[in-house]
């Protein structure tokens, strides 16, 4: 009986041992394959990690270089612009223009950083796929065909984006500027890489594709001129008119409310036209961008009051006699 219990107790261990040996025998090829290729796995894994690490570093370095370059470009452009405007403008300050330059620089930096990130990460992904043993030929060929199809099908979209990028780099206009882009004339309310939003005088909002803008007249860049032409009676003494205008301009330039808008003392250009019983006298005033319209209205009213005080009459249309009368 004791012998039987001993055999019975030993049987499970023998069966278990045999099962373990069978599992080891079945897993032997897998273990051998893992042992043989462990170096390849480790090397490939290290290569993938190294590729991703280099991509991250390159992306960070490219971002820093782009930010630094754009800031230097904006600072240089600002110095050149301030030099053109003169020391008087610098004394008055140019905070709005500097703020616009900073916003423009940030927009350009954001676009260029996105492009750099796309290129660097795209190359890194392709290299990782190559390390994994995936055949890149069909993938690259498919990507090339797809890019060609998109290029042909979205030419206008690509043109809009390229025009938007150059518009930002060249600082052609920005939000708040009054522009003439052909069909639309008004104030810029929004600028993106694809469209420019312009609010016209009647309150209509125009969406203009950047690729369709062939020319731009920016009325709010660097400085502007307020041009005032006063039609005076043909009998007015031009010398006396000039004296009155010069005194009026001196008083206008000394007005604290107007001095902040002026960059220079207004200039009396003189007579620019004689027709229909009128002598047209022109005055120009160099002013801050965007102030030319309001300043022109104030200057026109100011001159009219001085003309009235000096007894200088404004012109009125002369009647045209019919033929033979």
pLDDT attached to residue 161: 82
Contact present, 295 and 287 (Cβ < 8 Å): yes
- CA dist., res. 145 & res. 151, Å (int): 10
pLDDT attached to residue 13: 47
Contact present, 316 and 277 (Cβ < 8 Å): yes
pLDDT attached to residue 283: 94
pLDDT attached to residue 275: 83
pLDDT attached to residue 92: 45
* E runs forming strands in the chain: 178-180, 185-191, 195-200, 205-209, 217-218, 224-233, 267-275, 278-287
Half-sphere CA count of 130, side-chain side, radius 13 A:
11
- CA dist., res. 214 & res. 181, Å (int): 8
pLDDT attached to residue 291: 86
Contact present, 181 and 196 (Cβ < 8 Å): yes
Of 322, 226, 309, 320, nearest to 275 (Cα)? Answer: 320
List of the chain residues with pLDDT < 50: 1-7, 9-17, 23, 87-93, 324-325
Q: What is the pTM of this model?
A: 0.57
Torsion of CA 233, 235, 239, 243, to 10 degrees: -40
Tell me the pLDDT tens digit for each residue of 112-154: 888 888 889 888 888 888 777 777 777 777 777 777 776 666 6
- Domains of the chain plus CATH, in order, are 53-153 (no CATH), 171-218 (2.30.30.60), 224-310 (3.30.70.100)
Of 44, 66, 57, 80, nearest to 115 (Cα)? Answer: 66
């Amino acid at each position: 009986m004791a012998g039987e219990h001993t055999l019975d107790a030993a049987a499970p261990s023998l069966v278990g041992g045999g099962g373990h040996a069978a599992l080891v025998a079945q897993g032997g090829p897998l273990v051998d394959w893992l042992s043989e290729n462990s170096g390849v796995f480790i090397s490939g894994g290290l290569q993938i990690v190294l590729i991703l690490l280099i991509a991250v570093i390159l992306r960070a370095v490219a971002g820093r270089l782009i930010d630094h370059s754009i800031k230097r470009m904006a600072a240089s452009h600002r110095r050149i612009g301030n030099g053109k405007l003169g020391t008087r403008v610098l004394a008055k300050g140019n905070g709005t223009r500097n703020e616009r330059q900073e916003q423009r620089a940030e927009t350009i930096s954001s676009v260029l950083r996105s492009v750099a990130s796309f290129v660097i990460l795209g190359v890194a992904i392709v290299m990782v796929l190559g390390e994994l043993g995936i055949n890149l030929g069909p993938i690259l060929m498919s990507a090339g065909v797809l890019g060609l199809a998109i290029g042909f099908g979205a030419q206008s979209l690509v043109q809009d984006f390229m025009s938007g990028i150059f518009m930002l780099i060249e600082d052609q206009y920005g939000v708040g500027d009054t522009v003439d882009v052909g069909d639309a004339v008004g104030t810029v309310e929004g600028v993106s890489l694809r469209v420019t939003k312009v609010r016209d005088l009647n309150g209509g909002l125009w969406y203009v594709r950047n690729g369709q803008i062939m020319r731009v007249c920016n009325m709010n860049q660097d400085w502007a001129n307020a041009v005032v032409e006063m039609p005076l009676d043909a009998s007015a003494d031009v010398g006396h008119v000039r004296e009155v205008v010069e005194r009026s301009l001196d008083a206008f330039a000394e007005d604290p409310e107007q001095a902040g808008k002026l960059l220079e003392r207004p200039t009396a250009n003189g007579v620019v036209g004689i027709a229909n019983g009128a002598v047209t006298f022109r005055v120009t005033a160099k002013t801050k961008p965007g102030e030319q319209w309001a300043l022109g209205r104030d200057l026109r009213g100011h001159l009219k009051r001085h003309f009235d005080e000096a007894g200088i009459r404004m012109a009125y249309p002369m009647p045209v006699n019919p033929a033979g009368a």
